[in-house]
Amino acid sequence: MRAIVPLTLTLTLTLALALSACGLTVTNDRPTYEELNRPEQQAVDIIFAELKALDLKVRDRTLAMYQTPTDLSPVVDRRNIDVTFKGMMLAFNVGDGQVHVASWENLTEAQRGAVQQAFRTTPETAAAWYRKLFYRVLAVSQGVKQYMFNLDSAEWAYTRFSVFNMELHPLRTAMSYFAAAGRKADIWPFTASACGAVLSQNEGRWGHMFTKAQSYSSPRFPLAKAFMLENHGQFIGSGDPTVNLYFLCQWARISREEAEGLDAELGWLHTKLR
């Protein structure tokens, strides 16, 4: 049996406990799709459509590359898309068979205000940008995580990647997916535009952490990785979401710069996890 890296396991368990303390139960004991309010149903519909399209593309490409397709089950299912939790700005998949994405309406008023300030735009545009970033771009990246988990297991994936890279590499693959799906002209400029003010306003606070290490053998962004590990509570999504949004925007920037094409990204993940 493969051993789980203790530090990663401890952090994962800490995250699960913290989420539970914040009121997010990672179970299927949630309202059914029919019981959701209209904005929640709309969020689920968008996320489901994105995951379904991603699933078809992943099946097609892995069949061509490995003669055996890898699918994204069980997350390509409205029942396994969770948008009902409140007061946490999150988009994540920890291997529990569900994709969790915070709906705009379920953020607190203060959180919506902080997102608007981070985007430096109008309330209406902030809402539209948030929905596109979370319901489409980040939802796809969390679907890519399911591909990673299905190659072996969630536990194995978390032994092979740092918590930082468990977000960066799926988002990089997501960017390549959008390009392969003919949506690069839409999604890539959108993430750059929406994230422009987020990055510029907070460059003095956290920008230095995204300087690459000089040594090839070192983690590429050692300060950012260490900060995320040591301050994981700030990334759970409760309270001020600014640091969470800043890191998301940096991952998107790095992903646009480094994406190598869908086959290459899926192949690299496959090699890393098999």
pLDDT at 25: 52
pTM > 0.95: no
Task: Write the DSSP assignment of 206-256 as a string of letters.
Answer: HGGGGSPPSSTTS-SSHHHHHHHHHTGGGGS-SS--HHHHHHHHHHHHHHH
The set of residues, in sequence order, having a beta carbon less than 8 Å from that of 125 and lying 6+ positions away, is 119
CA 65/CA 57 separation, integer angstroms: 12
pLDDT at 239: 76
CA 226/CA 223 separation, integer angstroms: 5
Sole residue written with tokens 């260490």? 226
In the chain, domain spans = 6-273
Q: Do residues 166 and 98 touch, judged by C-beta distance below 8 A?
A: no
Q: Look up residue 152 and give its DSSP letter.
A: S
Please report, in tens digits, the pLDDT of each residue of the chain (274 residues total).
Answer: 344 344 444 445 445 545 554 555 555 578 999 999 999 999 999 999 999 999 999 999 999 999 999 999 999 999 999 999 999 999 999 999 999 999 999 999 999 999 999 999 999 999 999 999 999 999 999 999 999 999 999 999 999 998 899 999 999 999 999 999 999 999 999 999 999 999 999 999 999 999 887 665 567 899 999 999 888 888 887 778 899 999 999 999 999 999 999 999 999 999 999 9
CA 121/CA 108 separation, integer angstroms: 18
The set of residues, in sequence order, having a beta carbon less than 8 Å from that of 241 and lying 6+ positions away, is 89, 107, 111, 114, 115, 118
CA 40/CA 107 separation, integer angstroms: 12
